[in-house]
């Protein structure tokens, strides 16, 4: 299997503070990988570094192309969709406008229309509310909208930052089911950062555990889920 | 009664200009969250450019179109050179930038075209509009052009992808970048459009106030009043505010004893303060709905 995203010796900084201390990992094409770790471990920073939203050094290669020095919008244009923490909903725009924005870099107008319909199939509640201001949606609905908006890019790689945050457990299950489906059917490679380790490990096939800016464990999601030591020391359940 | 109708109509006509200025102000405010104090001077400079083009023998409407293009490009250049580097600077730094721009543009216009008052032509003529003594054809033209502009902007922002991208960039820059929008160029585009809209305002008002480097001083204050009254986040509000301020100004000047022409300007300022105290979001400023 070829690796789609290659991260080598990634170091990131917020002002003087170093948040990542030489992170290296790779994502296989078509995989669903989860990045686990406690609060402040550097999960969000890792995603932000991939999209160049934080100052970082090290090499990041996407499908053989280096991403360093590229602006955030150009990284996105390469086919990397990022669902940020807090969902990044355009609250003053309508649900449908949010979806259209997801496809704003695409030029195939006909397909955009049919893709919006496809998103409504995935998430019927969005169809019901398509003319509503997105800010009026519930947290779960906004998370669905964020995922749908990211998919509108027709991404090759999707980065999700704590999609379960603030959602009811049942809604999280639904959402993860859909993520699995997208991964299998649409062949989108997914990297999901999660605090809900148990659920993320059920969903993912690969997993990395990160602690204070370093990778401390990596491997098959099933193995990590069943490894007693890992669970106790890093995942806390 | 005739005096009243007359004043209201005249108010709507000058209000059209305030509406244009307010639109330009709102445009830049949406993009960078600052009020452009130099908006009036930029408009004045554009008007001089169109005048110069006509002096060189170019027909009115060609000069008009060419001026819009030049102003659009000029607005983008000003943003790239002056305000892009200030994007992360504190508010006061930006204010200083605007005031500097104001002073420079004003002086340069004086240097090139001097401070003598010049006649400016109107393409609409100044005969009574439709045989009515109430407003002139030029005033009707000002109203018509403003309404056309508003419709064009509405269509642009609601129905084009670039308009949608501009709205997204204005409301949430980080998310906009995450869907692949080059937010920096959206801001520049906003500046270009604001500059062109200002040019329209300047060209339309020049036959009334005459052409000279300080022609837009009062107009910009009314434009600010209109933008604040209508809501700084709403282009439609800005236009509505423009018309209301125009009417209010004229009626106050006519009916409140002692106000007259001299005290009209403080009325605009009083209006700004009243709106900020009573309804800070303005008439149509969008109350943002948020569920946490």
Question: Which residues of chain A have a CB within 8 Å of the CB of B161?
Answer: 100, 104
**What's the gap in Å between the CA of A102 and the closest CA on chain B?**
5
Nearest chain A Cα distance for residue B243, angstroms: 26
The C-alpha of B186 sits at a distance from chain A's nearest C-alpha, in angstroms, of: 12
Mutation target to probe the A interface, by most A beta carbons within 10 A, among B179, B289, B290 is B179
- Contact of B73 with chain A, judged by CB distance below 8 Å, is answered with no
Query: Whole-model pTM?
Result: 0.87
Domains of chain A: 3-88+156-235 (3.40.50.300)
pLDDT at B198 over 60: yes
What value does the mean pLDDT take over residues B139-163? 92
Q: What count of Cα atoms within 13 Å lies in the side-chain half-sphere of residue A167?
A: 26
Q: Does B118 touch chain A (CB under 8 A)?
A: no
Whether B133 is covered by a domain: the verdict is yes
- Distance, in Å, from the CA atom of B160 to the CA atom of B199, rounded to the nearest integer, reads 23
Residues of B within 8 A of A102 (CB-CB) are 179
Sheet holding A55-62, edge to edge: A17-28, A3-14, A55-62, A65-66
Residue A103 pLDDT more than 70? Answer: yes
User: A-chain residues within 8 Å CB-CB of B292?
Assistant: 139
If you search the block for the tokens 């459009």, which residue do you land on? B193
Is the model's pLDDT at B134 over the cut of 80? no
**pLDDT > 90? residue B212:** yes
Task: Report yes or no: A212 and A41 within 8 Å, Cβ to Cβ.
Answer: yes
In a domain, B87, yes or no: yes
Buried b (16+ CB within 10 A) or exposed e, A73-107: bbbbbebbbbbbeebbbbbbbbbbbbbbbbbbbbe
DSSP state of A160: E
The mean per-residue pLDDT over the stretch A136-150 comes to 92
Q: Tell which residue, A16, A23, A56, has the closest CA to residue A214.
A: A23
Domain-located, residue B197: yes
| Per-residue pLDDT reduced to its tens digit, A166-183 | 888 888 888 899 999 999
Q: What is the ipTM of this complex?
A: 0.89
Instruction: For residue B185, give its domain range.
Output: 11-219
Residue A5 pLDDT > 60, yes or no? yes
* pLDDT greater than 70 at residue A1: no
Residue B274 in domain: no
Report percent pLDDT > 90 for chain A: 62
pLDDT (0 to 100) of residue B285:
76
Q: Do A135 and B290 touch (CB under 8 A)?
A: yes
Write the residue in A76, A90, A105 that is nearest to B168 by C-beta. A90
Q: Is residue B259 part of a domain?
A: no
How close, in Å, is residue B196 to chain A by CA atoms?
A: 25
Inter-chain CB proximity B182 and A77 less than 8 Å: no
Q: How many domains, chain B? A: 1
Mean of the per-residue pLDDT values of chain B: 90
């Amino acid at each position: 299997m070829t690796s789609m995203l290659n991260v080598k010796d990634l170091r990131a900084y917020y002002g003087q503070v170093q948040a990542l201390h030489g992170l290296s990992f790779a994502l296989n094409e078509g995989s669903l990988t989860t990045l686990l770790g406690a609060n402040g471990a550097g999960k969000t920073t890792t995603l932000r570094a991939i999209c160049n939203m934080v100052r970082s050094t090290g090499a990041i290669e996407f499908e053989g192309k280096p991403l360093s020095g590229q602006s955030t919008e150009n990284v996105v244009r390469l086919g990397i969709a990022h669902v940020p923490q807090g969902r990044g909903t355009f609250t003053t725009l309508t649900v449908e406008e949010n979806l259209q924005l997801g496809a704003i870099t695409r030029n195939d107008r006909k397909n955009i229309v049919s893709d919006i319909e496809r998103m409504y199939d995935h998430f019927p509640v969005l169809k019901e509310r398509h003319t509503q201001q997105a800010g009026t949606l519930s947290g779960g609905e906004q998370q669905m909208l964020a995922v749908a908006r990211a998919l509108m890019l027709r991404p090759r790689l999707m980065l999700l930052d704590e999609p379960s945050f603030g959602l009811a457990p049942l809604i999280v299950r639904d959402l993860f089911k859909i993520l699995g489906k997208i991964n299998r059917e649409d062949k989108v490679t997914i990297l999901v950062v999660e605090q809900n380790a148990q659920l993320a490990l059920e969903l993912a096939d690969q997993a990395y555990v990160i602690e204070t800016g370093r990778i401390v464990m990596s491997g098959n999601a099933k193995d990590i889920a069943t490894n007693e030591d890992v669970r106790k020391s890093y995942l806390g359940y | 009664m005739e005096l009243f109708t007359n004043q209201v109509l005249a108010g709507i006509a000058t209000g059209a200009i305030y509406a244009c200025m307010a639109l330009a102000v709102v445009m830049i405010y949406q993009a960078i969250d600052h009020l452009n104090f130099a908006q009036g001077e930029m408009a004045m400079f554009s008007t001089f450019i169109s005048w110069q083009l006509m002096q060189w023998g170019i027909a009115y409407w060609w000069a008009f179109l060419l001026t819009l293009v030049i102003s659009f490009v000029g607005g983008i250049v000003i943003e790239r050179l002056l305000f892009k580097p200030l994007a992360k600077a504190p508010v006061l730094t930006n204010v200083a930038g605007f005031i500097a721009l104001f002073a420079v543009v004003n002086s340069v216009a004086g240097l090139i075209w001097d401070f003598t008052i010049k006649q400016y032509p109107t393409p609409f003529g100044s005969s009574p509009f439709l045989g009515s003594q109430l407003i002139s054809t030029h005033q009707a033209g000002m109203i018509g052009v403003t309404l056309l502009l508003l419709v064009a902007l509405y269509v642009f922002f609601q129905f084009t992808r670039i308009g949608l991208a501009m709205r997204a960039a204005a409301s949430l820059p980080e998310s906009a970048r995450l869907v692949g929008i080059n937010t920096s160029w959206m801001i520049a585009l906003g500046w270009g459009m604001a500059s062109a809209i200002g040019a329209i305002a300047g060209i339309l008002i020049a036959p009334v106030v005459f052409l000279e480097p300080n022609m837009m001083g009062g107009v910009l204050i009314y434009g600010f009043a209109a933008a604040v009254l209508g809501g700084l986040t709403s282009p439609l509000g800005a236009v509505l505010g423009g018309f209301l301020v125009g009417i209010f100004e004229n009626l106050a000047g006519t009916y409140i004893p002692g106000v007259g022409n001299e005290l009209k300007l403080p009325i605009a300022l009083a209006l700004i303060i009243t709106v900020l105290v009573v309804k800070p979001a303005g008439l149509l400023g969008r109350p943002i709905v948020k569920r946490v």
